[in-house]
Amino acid sequence: MQPRELQAEQFSDYPPEAKRVVLAHLDALRELPLIFIPSLLREVIDYDFKFPAERFAIDRELASLSGRSQAQRRDQFQAFDRLSISPKLELYDWINQPAQFTEQLSAYLWSTHQLDAFRAAATEYGSRLQSEMPSEPLPARRLGIAVIGQGVTSFDGRLFKNLRGHGTYFNQIKPEHGLDLLLEGIDARSKTYSVPYGHWYVDGGQEANHSALLTCISYRSLEPVRKALLRDVSTEIEKPGMGPEELRTHLARLTPSDLGMTPGGDAVLDRFQLKVLTEGSGTQIFSTTFAQWTAREVLRRAQALTLLVRFAPRQRQRPMNELLSNSQGNSEVDPLGSLIDADMASYYHWINQQRLPGYDRSVFLVWFEGHNEALVVAPTLPRGATSNSALDLGQLLALAIS
Amino acid sequence: MNRQFFKDDLAFGWPVRGGLTAKDVASRLSQSRREFLRTTAGLALGTAVGSSSPFLRGEVIRKKRKTIVVTFGGGARDQETFAPEGQENIPHLINELAPQSSFFTHVTNQGILGHYVATASLTTGVYETLNNFSAVPPEHPTVFEYFRKDLRRPASDTWVVAPSNGFNRIGESNSRGYGPGTGAAVILPKHLLSATAPGATEDLDHLLRDNYETPLYTPRLSGGEFELQQLGSILRLSVADFMAHARTLSSPDELSVYIAKRLMQQEAPSLLWITMHDIDVAHSGAYSLYVEGIRRTDRLCAELWKTVQSEPEYAGNTTMFILPDFGRDSDFEPGGNGFQHHRTGDAASRTTWMMALGAGVRPGVVFDDPMQSVDLVPTLGAMLGFTPEESKGRPIKEFM
């Protein structure tokens, strides 16, 4: 089916808010190229479970499309119009299964060597959209905090290698009560700048005591869900005809209640956690991956104003010879490997933060938990510098956001 | 055909900052490799050498020539390898192998960036479009089929040692005029383990089934009678000896290299293809495990080269090629997640390198001219004397 044939009743299975949004912009949607529109509907269909920042972005994009003349829209999408699409994809139910459509489109673009052209068109579209719609000013500088190295008693290597050129390295930090001081700091921000889903605390292990004003996700609290997911996967992969692609489709259809998440909670947050576990590769297995990917998604989707991520030791990867010895269980953790994982993850945290509006004013702090090493990237602090100031974490945070 | 692991490719997500084109990035990657090799390993630029051919003609008698191709199924990025900050991870490649090699800094893969389909493309010289997760043969004739047909070589003269999933069909195509019985036999070390270690623990079972690209999906292996026969009749190993040795190894790639060495001793194939896979643990998102994989692969490449020097059938007449099948996503590509995947098709994920060393190769030279990964098969054809008629690649001009 072609977009020009779209009718209101074809969106009857959409959740209420998603349906309202689509119907308000149906005329504009009818004029979009088929190769493009499912990518947009993939976002819209989940509108009811989106964070405020995502809803705002969808509303703004649709308003922009509706506000254009036919000629302007043709000009905007001509790069997409040059790409071909298979007859099989044209027949696909892209209205009700836009995510599955885009996955199949992706495979088609790879196999027909059109992926690079699609990427270029998408990048151009996104950049143009962004340039036409300046972002709203933030109520405060965006703040990212990474706490890495829990459980590591000593480390001889050089931490924060990727970030040192961008900020100031502190080597005399007083580690006492460091996590509490940081949590107090972000709690204070959450009270001062009230933003729905604006202030986050992600823990790769057991979460520490924290303010109820923070949106919190932890690896430990999701353990029942992770176990339910792995049980579900084990059952599914034994079924005839199951393969990686079929499994992926199955996972995409899971709902929070399928994995035992209690109904009546925060539906938006539950969906987010479900997606972290079903879409993130390795998030179900390694706590460091869970924390990194969750941070990425919190920034990308919720555009958090404040995000503290604390990494915990992940389970140890057992070598083959040990597995061949038939020893059971794997309760050991790998603190040193986890520190290296988290060091890289903190770099990605900063990169992802820099992709958001207000990046030129944003602040990032990373601390080697329990130790005296930290690094701050902030517009007010010199780059590539070293400081031997003896500060506690509360003082360091205050300096960073001053 | 639905390759859903590419799901994130089409994310419109975050904007790209900076104005480098993919071509710019690829060019910078190759330049950084060249500069690094020149300063660290003391290699000379190919164009500065009187004759730019990496091959020293007439040095090797063709009929005795042995060729080994080592691919990394799980690309490694420059910043963890040939860039200054990555050199600590590849001491053997840098200090031992690079000075002996002709090094090609700019190899691009324009095909689908999945390991099975990309390795299949490397073997056929055509960008294959098969489903990365299906155990199907390549559509076009493989290098093994060309080699055997044109040079009239027996089945025992070419072998593939590969990670388990899907790769069991990589030895021969379903192309008319070639196909079943005309290509290479494939040894899948994980299948051997599966056949010899029944009743394995759950974790071992996962290791044997894992294909990394889809960490949650682990297709069941079917190791059995055929694998046991391979152990006994080809590798001349008892199950007890095989298991005893396997218990001393830390990873599937170590097992692959052990099997490859055993093949070299027992069958002495003229064309041996080994695909490493440990690096691809990166898909689990654990950076430390990815770097460990690179270090192990670096060590195993040197170990294999030492074996070549010590085996009478191979010493002095073997050319070895080492190349990743492709790279991994850049840290700065918004559609990806850095080292974890190779889904975006950005320059970092498409651009890699190749090292050639040994018999007939001019040592210590860096070649900057762009080549494609599908050029490998026609290059091997030019070297060994077969005609890969369906290959879309071109022989590397420096070799001609």
Q: For position A244, what pLDDT does the model report?
A: 76
CB contact under 8 A, B3 and A109: no
**B74 located within any domain:** yes
Asked if the Cβ–Cβ distance from B285 to A351 is below 8 Å, we say: no
Considering the domain boundaries, does residue B322 fall inside one?
A: yes
- Counting as low any pLDDT under 50, the low residues of chain B are 1-13, 15-20, 50, 57-61, 63
Please check whether residue B12 touches A, CB under 8 A. Answer: yes
Residue B70 gets which letter from DSSP? E
Domain hosting B214: range is 21-399
A87-101, A266-280, B188-202: least confident range:
B188-202
Residue A52 Cα, gap to closest chain B Cα (Å): 16
Fold of A143-316+331-401: Alkaline Phosphatase, subunit A (3.40.720)
Q: Is residue B15 part of a domain?
A: no
Task: Kindly list the distances between the CA atom of residue B112 and the CA atoms of B137, B140, B338, B342, in Å, as whole numbers in the listed order.
Answer: 16, 15, 18, 10
In a mutagenesis test of the B interface, which of A148, A259, A327, A344 is the best target, namely the one with the most B β-carbons within 10 Å? A344
**In this structure, are residues A173 and A366 in contact, taking their beta carbons and an 8 Å threshold?**
no
- Alpha carbon B106 to chain centroid, angstroms: 16
CB-CB contact of B320 with B383 (8 Å): no
| Cross-chain Cβ contact A286/B345 below 8 Å | no
Q: Which of B148, B151, B190, B189 is nearest to B171 (CA)?
A: B148
What are the tens digits of pLDDT across the range A163-188? 999 999 999 999 999 999 999 999 99
Task: Write down the domain spans for chain A.
Answer: 3-132, 143-316+331-401
CB contact (8 A) between residue B10 and residue A341:
no
Residue A131 to chain B, least CA–CA distance (Å)? 10
A145, B35 in Cβ contact below 8 A?
Answer: no
pLDDT over 70, % of chain A: 98
B18 at A interface, C-beta within 8 A:
no
- Across the interface, of B4, B193, B214, the residue whose CB is closest to A103 is B4
Contact B284 A285 (CB under 8 A): yes
Contact residues, chain B, for A289 at CB < 8 Å: 284-286
Contacts of B203 in chain A (CB under 8 A): 318, 323, 330
Asked if B87 has any chain A CB less than 8 Å from its own CB, the reply is: no
Select the residue of B7, B13, B201 nearest A328 (Cβ to Cβ). Answer: B201
Integer angstrom CA distances of residue A104 from A78, B119, B350: 22, 22, 21
Model pLDDT, residue B248: 87
Query: Into how many domains does chain B fold?
Result: 1
Q: Are B355 and B321 in contact (CB under 8 A)?
A: yes
Q: How many CB atoms lie within 10 A of CB A41?
A: 25
User: CA of A293, closest CA in chain B: separation in Å?
Assistant: 8
User: Are residues B286 and A289, on separate chains, in Cβ contact within 8 Å?
Assistant: yes
What is the token pair recorded at B75?
């690309």
User: Per the domain annotation, does B266 fall within a domain?
Assistant: yes
Rounded CA separation B1/A391 (Å): 58
Provide the pLDDT for residue B9.
43
Note whether B214 contacts A324, CB cutoff 8 Å: no
Bin A387: left if φ > 0, else alpha if -120 < ψ < 50, else beta: beta
Cα-Cα end-to-end distance for chain A? 56
Alpha carbon distance B236, B241 (integer Å)? 10
Q: Calculate what percentage of chain A has a pLDDT beyond 90.
A: 80
Between A103 and B13, the higher pLDDT residue: A103
Listed ranges A50-54, A103-107, A124-128, A315-319; the one with the highest mean pLDDT: A50-54
The CATH number of residue B105's host domain is: 3.40.720.10
**How many residues would you count in chain A?**
402
CA distance B268 to B159: 10
Whether residue A343 contacts residue A368, with contact meaning beta carbons closer than 8 Å, is answered with no
- Nearest-angstrom CA–CA distance, A111 and A170: 50
pLDDT in tens, A233-256: 888 888 887 777 788 888 988 999
Cα–Cα distance for residue pair B93/B105, rounded to 1 Å: 14
Task: Give yes or no for residue A263 having a pLDDT over 90.
Answer: no
| The one-letter amino acid at B358 | G
Contact A354 B17 (CB under 8 A): yes
The model's pLDDT over A322-361, given as tens digits with 9 standing for 90+, comes to: 776 656 555 689 999 999 999 999 999 999 999 999 999 9
Contact B249, A277 (CB under 8 A): no
DSSP strand E in B260-368: where?
271-276, 318-324, 351-358, 365-367
Contacts B110 to A, Cβ<8 Å: 113
Token pair 């506000």 is at which residue?
A67
Q: Nearest C-alpha of chain B: how many angstroms from A395?
A: 31
Give the bridge partners for A144, in sequence order: A307, A364
Give the nearest chain B residue to A233 (CA atoms). B216
Pick from B231, B304, B342, B358: nearest CA to B71: B304
Assess A281–B contact: CB distance below 8 Å, yes or no. Answer: yes
Interface contact flag, B255 A320, Cβ < 8 Å: yes
Taking each helix axis from N to C terminus, what angle separates A244-253 and A223-237, rounded to the nearest 10 degrees?
140
CB B386 within 8 A of CB B65: no
Contact with chain A for residue B4, Cβ under 8 A = yes
A57, B16, B58 from A351: Cα distances, Å = 21, 11, 53
What ipTM was assigned to the predicted interfaces of this complex?
A: 0.93
pLDDT digits (tens, 9 = 90+) for A2-31: 999 999 999 999 999 999 999 999 999 999
Facing B16 at nearest CB: one of A123, A314, A343: A123
Task: State the pLDDT at residue A91.
Answer: 93
Residue whose entry in the numeric block shows the structure tokens 């009230």: A194
Q: Please tell me the distance in Å from A334's CA to the nearest CA on chain B.
A: 10
pLDDT, tens digit, 9 for 90 and up, residues B246-277: 888 888 899 999 999 999 999 999 999 999 99
What kind and span of H or E run contains A46? Answer: none
CB B89 within 8 A of CB B98: no
Task: Please give the Cα distance from A194 to A21 (Å, whole number).
Answer: 26
